[in-house]
């Protein structure tokens, strides 16, 4: 009888943790804050408080809106993001009236292309995505990534709907101080910083394609000669020439991709 009881409770625990949709209550949010803060929390204890499996791969998201009147749009996007996927679980925490924290988990790292597609077209809501991680540390680190991406987007005044931290980690480092980031962009790109966006995108794609004009043309769906002309014109406008320091040029262009207005000096 004792063994039967133990087995029954173990099965119940597994069934609860297997629920694909879970919302965090006050106790769960306190546990999330402890985990995020680096407290040494036993995994089994944390799973019980969160009603969420931790011995898996996790990917964290932060969803937020600037206007409380768009709370319905926020909730609709949360529902779309966490829609049950075979073998996946989700945990949602109400961080504030204007933001939600989400974790998606599975036996393997989640494929979130569908989330990017949904979030990129959402009205009035912005989404930040952390890198995937495993176990309790992965739960924590992915959340920190998503928060860092959110902070960068807010700091730069960007209106990007979807931002993956893995794509912007360098930009985050470069733009911790907005004034320094502005100086870096203007001193690197000069007039190119305020030139046509098509020129900047072409030059960035050219660098990302390993200075291969044919590959860049295919990526941009443009003629090879068009790419060559745009690259030449962009390089003329840039203070630092792409052949002299492609790393700085690409970094400055990436900053502008996230914050197109960063080179504009605000009126006094």
For residue 40, pLDDT beyond 90: no
241 assigned to some structural domain = yes
Helix%, strand%, coil% for the chain, nearest 5: 55, 15, 30
Instruction: Assess whether 91 and 181 both reside in one domain.
Output: no
| Nearest residue to 160 (alpha-carbon basis) of 146, 150, 175 | 150
131 assigned to some structural domain = yes
Instruction: Assess whether 64 and 92 both reside in one domain.
Output: yes
Residue 240 belongs to a domain with what CATH number?
1.10.10.2840
Instruction: Assess whether 121 and 190 both reside in one domain.
Output: no
172 assigned to some structural domain = no
Average pLDDT, the chain: 84
Instruction: Assess whether 200 and 80 both reside in one domain.
Output: no
Domain boundary among 135, 163, 191: 163
The 10 Å CB-count burial string (b at 16+, else e) for 175-205 is beeeeebbebbbebbbebbebeeebbbbbbb
Compute the distance between CA of residue 189 and CA of residue 264 in angstroms, rounded to an integer.
13
Q: Beta strands of the chain (E only): which ranges? A: 21-23, 57-64, 89-96, 99-106, 126-129, 133-134, 162-164
Where residue 90 falls among pLDDT bands split at 50, 70, 90?
A: confident
Instruction: Assess whether 49 and 181 both reside in one domain.
Output: no
Compute the distance between CA of residue 100 and CA of residue 117 in angstroms, rounded to an integer.
18
Q: Which domain holds residue 146?
A: 2-163
171 assigned to some structural domain = no
Q: What is the largest CA-CA distance in the chain?
A: 83
Domain boundary among 163, 185, 204: 163
Entry pTM: 0.78
185 assigned to some structural domain = yes
Instruction: Assess whether 146 and 76 both reside in one domain.
Output: yes
For residue 24, pLDDT beyond 80: no
User: How many domains in the chain?
Assistant: 2
170 assigned to some structural domain = no
Retrieve residue 209's tokens.
């394609």
206 vs 87, which has greater pLDDT? 206
Percent of residues, the chain, with pLDDT higher than 90: 49
* 230 HSE (CA, 13 A, CB side): 23
**Cα distances (Å, whole numbers) of residue 97 to 100, 160, 255:** 8, 21, 30
193 assigned to some structural domain = yes
**DSSP letters for 207-220:** HHTTT-HHHHHHHH
Instruction: Assess whether 84 and 119 both reside in one domain.
Output: yes
In this prediction, residues 197-211 reach a mean pLDDT of: 94
Domain boundary among 163, 191, 217: 163
Instruction: Assess whether 75 and 135 both reside in one domain.
Output: yes
Compute the distance between CA of residue 150 and CA of residue 173 in angstroms, rounded to an integer.
13
- Whether residue 118 contacts residue 81, with contact meaning beta carbons closer than 8 Å, is answered with yes
pLDDT at 23: 64
Instruction: Assess whether 140 and 30 both reside in one domain.
Output: yes
C-beta neighbour count of 23 within 10 angstroms: 13
Instruction: Assess whether 132 and 15 both reside in one domain.
Output: yes
Residue 90 belongs to a domain with what CATH number?
3.30.70
For residue 132, pLDDT beyond 70: yes
Instruction: Assess whether 70 and 145 both reside in one domain.
Output: yes
Instruction: Assess whether 103 and 184 both reside in one domain.
Output: no
| Nearest residue to 258 (alpha-carbon basis) of 148, 145, 157, 144 | 157
Compute the distance between CA of residue 59 and CA of residue 134 in angstroms, rounded to an integer.
9
74 assigned to some structural domain = yes
């Amino acid at each position: 009888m004792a063994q039967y009881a133990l087995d029954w409770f173990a099965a119940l625990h597994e069934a609860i943790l297997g629920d694909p949709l879970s919302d965090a209550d006050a106790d769960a949010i306190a546990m999330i804050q402890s985990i995020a803060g680096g407290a040494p929390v036993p995994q089994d204890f944390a799973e019980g408080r969160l009603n969420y499996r931790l011995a898996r791969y996790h990917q964290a998201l932060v969803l937020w809106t600037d206007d409380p009147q768009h709370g319905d749009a926020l909730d609709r996007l949360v529902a779309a993001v966490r829609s049950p996927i075979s073998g996946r679980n989700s945990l949602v925490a109400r961080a504030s009236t204007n933001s939600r924290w989400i974790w998606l988990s599975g036996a393997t790292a989640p494929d979130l292309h569908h989330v990017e597609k949904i979030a990129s077209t959402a009205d009035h809501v912005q989404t930040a995505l952390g890198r995937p991680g495993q176990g309790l540390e992965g739960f924590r680190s992915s959340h920190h990534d998503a928060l860092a991406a959110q902070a960068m987007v807010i700091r730069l005044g960007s209106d990007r709907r979807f931002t993956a931290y893995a794509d912007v980690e360098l930009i985050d480092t470069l733009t911790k101080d907005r004034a320094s980031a502005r100086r870096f962009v203007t001193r690197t790109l000069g007039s190119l910083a305020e030139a046509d966006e098509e020129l900047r995108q072409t030059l960035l794609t050219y660098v990302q394609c390993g200075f291969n004009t044919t590959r860049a043309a295919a990526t941009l769906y443009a003629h090879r000669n068009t790419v060559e002309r745009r690259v030449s014109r962009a390089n003329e406008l840039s203070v630092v020439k792409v052949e002299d320091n492609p790393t700085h040029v690409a970094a400055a262009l990436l900053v502008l991709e996230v914050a197109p207005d960063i080179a504009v000096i605000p009126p006094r």
